[in-house]
Structure formats: C-alpha cells, structure tokens
Amino acid sequence: MLTAYPVHDIRRLETAAIDADPAQDLMQQAAGAVAAVAAEELARRRGRVYGARVLILVGGGNNGGDALFAGARLARRGARVIALGLLGTPHPGGLAALLAAGGRLLDQDQLGQVDLDGFDLGLDGVLGIGGRPGLPDQVAEIARRLDECDVPVVAVDLPSGVDADTGAVPSAAVRATVTVSFGAAKLCEVIEPAKGNCGRIVRIDLGFRPDNAVTAIDVLDEVDLARRWPYPDARSSKYTRGVVGIDAGSTQYPGAGILATHGAVFSGAGMVRFHGGEEARRVLTGALPNVVYAEGRVQAMLYGSGWGDRSDGAEVISRGLDSGLPGVVDADGLQRLPSRGMSADWLLTPHAGELARLLGCDRSEVEADPLTAAHRGADRTGATVLLKGSTQIVAQPGRRSALIAVGGPAWTAQAGSGDVLAGICTTLLAAGVPAQLAGALAASVQAVAAASLPGPVPPQRLAEQVAIVLGRLQPQPPYEVDHEIGRSGDDHGAGRR
Ligand SMILES: NC(=O)C1=CN([C@@H]2O[C@H](COP(=O)(O)OP(=O)(O)OC[C@H]3O[C@@H](n4cnc5c(N)ncnc54)[C@H](O)[C@@H]3O)[C@@H](O)[C@H]2O)[C@@H](O)CC1
Ligand SMILES: Nc1ncnc2c1ncn2[C@@H]1O[C@H](COP(=O)(O)OP(=O)(O)O)[C@@H](O)[C@H]1O
Ligand SMILES: [K+]
C-alpha cells in the first residue's frame, strides 16, 4: 500500500528527517537523483549524456535549486545546459554550481534566443511543494510548447502547476514524462487529473518515515486486496459469508438488478435474496438458480441501481436505514436519499455526474477535483462515498483521510459495470467489512478483474472474472507438509513398484 500525503504533512515528515540526521544535504540527494533519472532518459533516447541539449525551467524556490544542481551534474558529464529563470531569483548556490560547470542562465526576455524544438530534455524546476496551482501565462506557454514538440520532461518533485494537495489541475500545468518524487508521495501522484501529468513516477527515499497523519490517503494494491478480502474459511457458513438483499432494477431497467446480482454472487455472497421486478426474476431463475426470492434474513441491502423514476424510493431507503443494517445506494437511488441524513455504515456509489447532482454543482467540478468532491459528498450526506471514475476514491463523513482503489483499464467505464460493482460492495458489507474498506476492495477487485482480461467484455462476464481473480489472489494457508505420509513404509509402499 502506498500512502500519499498533503503538503503540510510532507513538510512535517521532512523536518523530522532533517532533525534525525542534521548533517545530510537533502538538496544534493534530490539533485543527484534527478540527474540520474535525466541521464537514464537521455541514454534511452540518444545513447549518451555527452552533447545532449538540456533546458532547465527554474523557479525562485528550492525546487529550482534542485533542478540547477541536477543541471550542474549533467553539464559536468558534457551536456549543454541552459537554465531559464522564470519566477523570482534562482537559487544562488544552484546557479553558481551550474555556471561553474559550464551551463548558462537566460532570463525570460532572452527566450527568443532558444529553439524549444531543439532540446533533448527539459527539467521542470519551476514549482515544487511550495507552489500554488496554476502557472503564469508565459511559463504555461513554454510548458505547452515542450509538450507539443515531444521534448521529454523530467519533473522535479512534482509537475509544476498541479495542485499537490488534491490532484486537481485547475489551469495550466507541466506534463512530465517522469516525475522524480522526493520522500513521501504527494496526493497529486495518485489522483487524476494531476496523476496524468506526472508520467512515470520515480520515488527517492530521503529518509522520510511515514506516519498516521489524519489526512493521509492510502492507495491499495493487489497485495492489500488479497490480504483484506474476507475469504471464507473452514468455520464459514453462508450466514458468516453474508446474505445480500438486492432491491434494484425496474421494468424500464431490468438489467441493473440482474447485473448487481451477478456482482454479489460472483464476489462470494453466502446467499442472495432478490427483491426486484418480475422480468429480472425470470432471467435470474435461468442464469443463477441459486438466487432466492423469498423474504427473510439479510445482512446488507442494495438499493437504487436501475430504479429509474421509482416513486417510493425514498421510503424504501428510509426503511432500510431504520432496520439498522448496512446498505449500498447506487445510481437512481442517490437522488432519493432521505433528508434526515444517512449513516457512515452506508456506502453511496456515485459516478462524477451523480455526485455533482447530489452536491448541486457541475460534473466538471467533480472531475477537476474528485477528492474534494468525495469528501463533500460524504460530509453532505453523512454516508461513506465511493466516487467512481479513473481514480476511485472512498471518503468518510467528517474525516480527511481516504482510500483509493486499485485503478483499472478505462474500458471498465461501460453501462452496467456500476451495477456489478454495487453488487460486489453489498457482498462485502454483508460479510461485515466496514463501508470504506468495502468500497475500496470492491472497486479494486473489479479493476483487477478488468485488467486481467485482454479487452472489453460485457459486465456480466466481468463479474465472472471477479471470481477467477479472487481465486488467484487467495493467500494459501501455510500447510505443514507431513513428509511421513506416503513415504514407502512397509504398509504404504507395499503396492508400489
Ligand atoms: N525542504 C526540504 O527538506 C527539501 C526540499 N526540496 C525541494 O524544495 C521544494 C520546495 O521548495 P520551496 O518551499 O522553496 O517551494 P517551491 O520551490 O515550490 O517555490 C515556492 C516559490 O514559488 C512562488 N510561487 C508559488 N506558486 C507560484 C505560482 N503559481 N506562480 C508563481 N509563483 C509561485 C512562491 O511565492 C515561492 O517563492 C520541494 O518541492 C523540493 O523540490 C528538496 O531539495 C529536498 C529537500
Ligand atoms: N476512465 C476510467 N478508467 C478506469 N475505470 C473507470 C473509468 N471510468 C469509470 N471507471 C470505473 O468503471 C466502473 C463503471 O462505473 P459507472 O460509470 O458508474 O458504470 P454504470 O454507468 O454502469 O453505473 C466503475 O468501477 C468506475 O470506477
Ligand atoms: K517541479
């Protein structure tokens, strides 16, 4: 699991690392790492560093200092390095090192002297964690031109212009080929759209020790998925595995109930009770005869997928809340949440458009800053929110931490995937997994299942793949091997030749 932090926590981790070893020179370590990554990039593209043309974009802070010291190292290896001083005064020590190594400094007025197309590599040292999102127009124009000319860019610590704290890209920002990130991961590395500006990420250990910051964002990987999934064991029964109740679909959208049921069954529900319409029942009876239609005990409920304009939706959800059981509200149910507020044990599964409607804002606002939107959704409703999309974020009401699920291929975004996902979420709630972890595990397993396939498949097939992936990931118990059994003792070996 990777943990990402907002800037104020990163500064705190940095201070602790410096206090622990005051003699270390973090800037030189950072510069050394940037130079090494830049050299690798140059070697890959043109065979060697010697003679390469390198442009450094230099801001007025320590980020520019890192870039200048890195540039000095490249200049000492024979690169022709030009630094463009863009914001404020360049770091004096870094500049002196670059000039001593044979590099040059140009200011913005001399930009006309350089042909951006002719550079083999750019180093982005405009802004680091001290940067406010956005770039002044002239800097934005240079960043845009480098991108247009396909000049590879190595970003120092983060791509300048992104919002390091949210992953938003409110206006212009550098698009990096590689980002050399120092110490701890920043939120912009793990949340779209900023994640897309980072390119490949190379993390450099500067001795920062992770801690349990209340604002930390945990990004799950396959190992976490396998470790945290509630696999049944010898003591399990269908009730400990969990009974899922599904009230989804409608005459207009019968498929949603069918797909949600596939999600619940193939993610390992102990039993599924289907409370949706007749059309869906007829299909399910043939496709999944294990599904039960009788009323009875359930341990978690799903509401809302494919409800359309169902008029009694708000009362149905309200009664579900009164029951004290955990529940999932998806799709059309999200517009029918009771005004008295929800419970953090409940999971809402909106995509950006649905969350925008809940918040009364534009979809673009949610897409531009999904982390903030997910937190607002949780605070506004009182429920846990799984915001779906290319970054799948699970936020809880009143908490600034969040979980991010494993990311999947973009083709997962298809009608019906959300219904399957809602069914998987409900299986996990029924098995007793808390809502935030349930949302993150469900979104992760769907993403891993999709990634394990060669290409797009319909959502019911994706649900089946979830079962295959869960089987593959299941940790094997550490069986004691009894070497005596089967060894050729007098009795056992008698019949063998
Ligand atoms: N503190 C440490 O221990 C280390 C810091 N390092 C580097 O230091 C960086 C942080 O340095 P700083 O705190 O100096 O911050 P930055 O280098 O990010 O720059 C901050 C400066 O830019 C200006 N500025 C911010 N946003 C702007 C915008 N949108 N438009 C125009 N000007 C803007 C600010 O007014 C300030 O002068 C890190 O990202 C990293 O690269 C590394 O050397 C490793 C160690
Ligand atoms: N660009 C993307 N890249 C990867 N996964 C995505 C992307 N967009 C959506 N997803 C995922 O695909 C699934 C489809 O969700 P959704 O759009 O809500 O489907 P539906 O419309 O059927 O409800 C979700 O798990 C979501 O997080
Ligand atoms: K930068």
Residue range 73-127, pLDDT digits in tens:
999 999 999 999 999 999 999 999 999 999 999 998 888 888 999 999 999 999 9
DSSP bridge partners of 303: 247, 329
Identify the pLDDT of residue 59: 97
Q: Flag whether pLDDT at 314 surpasses 60.
A: yes
Checking if the pLDDT of 186 tops 60, the result is yes
Eight-class DSSP state of 292? B
pLDDT of residue 108: 86
Contacts of 454 (CB under 8 A, 6+ apart): none
**For range 299-316, the mean pLDDT:** 97
Comparing 214 with 467, the larger pLDDT belongs to: 467
Q: Ligand nearest 28 Cα, by number?
A: 1
Q: How far is the CA of 123 from the centre of ligand 2 (A)?
A: 35
Mean per-residue pLDDT over the chain, rounded: 94
Report which ligand 2 atom has the smallest distance to the Cα of 410: 3
Q: Which fold has domain 222-473?
A: UDP-N-acetylmuramoyl-L-alanine:D-glutamate ligase (3.40.1190)
The span from the CA of 409 to the CA of 315, in Å, is 37
* pLDDT tens by residue, 350-382: 999 999 999 999 999 999 999 999 999 999 999
Q: What is the mean pLDDT of residues 324-334?
A: 98
What is the share, in percent, of the chain residues with pLDDT greater than 90? 85
Q: pLDDT band at residue 18, thresholds of 50, 70 and 90? A: confident
What is the tens place of the pLDDT at every residue in 161-172? Answer: 999 999 999 899
Looking at residue 220, its pLDDT comes to 98
DSSP-derived 3-state class of residue 37: helix
- Residues 184, 204: Cα–Cα separation, whole Å: 8
Q: How far is the CA of 86 from the centre of ligand 3 (A)?
A: 12
Q: Of ligand 2's atoms, which has the minimum distance to the CA of residue 459?
A: 22
**Ligand number nearest to the C-alpha of 16:** 1
Going by DSSP bridges, is the β-strand pair 200-204/243-247 parallel, antiparallel, or unpaired? Answer: unpaired
494: pLDDT strictly greater than 60? no
pLDDT exceeds cutoff 70 at 482: no
Q: Residue 490 above 50 pLDDT? A: no
- Number of Cβ within 10 Å of residue 247's Cβ equals 24
What is the structure's pLDDT at 497? 33
* 2-213 topology per CATH: Rossmann fold (3.40.50)
- The answer to whether residue 228 scores a pLDDT higher than 80 is yes
Q: Is 446 in the pocket of ligand 2 (CB under 6 A)?
A: yes
The response to whether residue 88 sits with its C-beta less than 6 Å from ligand 1 reads yes
Name the pLDDT band for 485 (thresholds 50, 70, 90): low
DSSP label at residue 400: S
Q: Is the distance from CB of 437 to CB of 427 less than 8 angstroms?
A: no
Residue 244: pLDDT band (50, 70, 90) is very high
pLDDT tens digits along 60-69 = 999 999 999 9
Determine whether 15 is exposed, middle or buried from the number of CB atoms within 10 Å of its CB (0-12, 13-18, 19+): exposed
**pLDDT at 212 (0 to 100):** 78
Report residue 273 as tokens.
């009770």
Assign 3-state DSSP to the chain and report helix, strand, coil percentages, each to 5: 45, 15, 40
Q: Which residues neighbour 76 within 8 Å (Cβ) at sequence distance 6 or greater?
A: 101, 102
CA 386/CA 396 separation, integer angstroms: 9
Is 306 flagged in the annotation as binding?
yes
CA distance 371 to 353: 14
* Domain-wise residue ranges, the chain: 2-213, 222-473
Compute the Cα dihedral for 279, 280, 284, 290 and give only its sign: negative
E strands along 356-461, which residues? 384-387, 393-395, 402-404
Residue 32 pLDDT > 80? yes
Q: How many angstroms is it from 394 CA to the middle of ligand 3?
A: 28
pLDDT recorded at residue 256: 98
Would you say 241 and 268 are in contact if contact means Cβ atoms under 8 Å apart?
Answer: yes
Neighbours of 148 (CB within 10 A): 10
**Residue 496 scores a pLDDT above 60:** no
Task: Count the neighbouring beta carbons within 10 Å of the beta carbon of residue 30.
Answer: 25
Report yes or no: 203 and 5 within 8 Å, Cβ to Cβ: no
Size of the chain, expressed as the number of residues it contains:
497
Whether ligand 2 lies within 6 angstroms of the CB of 418 is answered as yes
87 lines ligand 2 (CB under 6 A): no
Over residues 396-451, the pLDDT tens digits come to: 999 999 999 999 999 999 999 999 999 999 999 999 999 999 999 999 999 999 99
CA dist 424 and 151 (Å) reads 44
Give the separation between CA 41 and CA 36, rounded to whole angstroms. 9
Give the separation between CA 111 and CA 87, rounded to whole angstroms: 14
How far does CA 125 lie from the centroid of its chain? Answer: 26
* Res 492 pLDDT > 50: no
Whether residue 230 is preceded by a cis peptide bond, meaning omega within 30 degrees of 0, is no
What is the radius of gyration, based on Cα positions, of the chain? Answer: 27
Cα of 172 vs its chain's centroid, Å: 22
CA proximity to 222, closest of 408, 71, 467: 408
Write the single-letter amino acid at 322. Answer: D
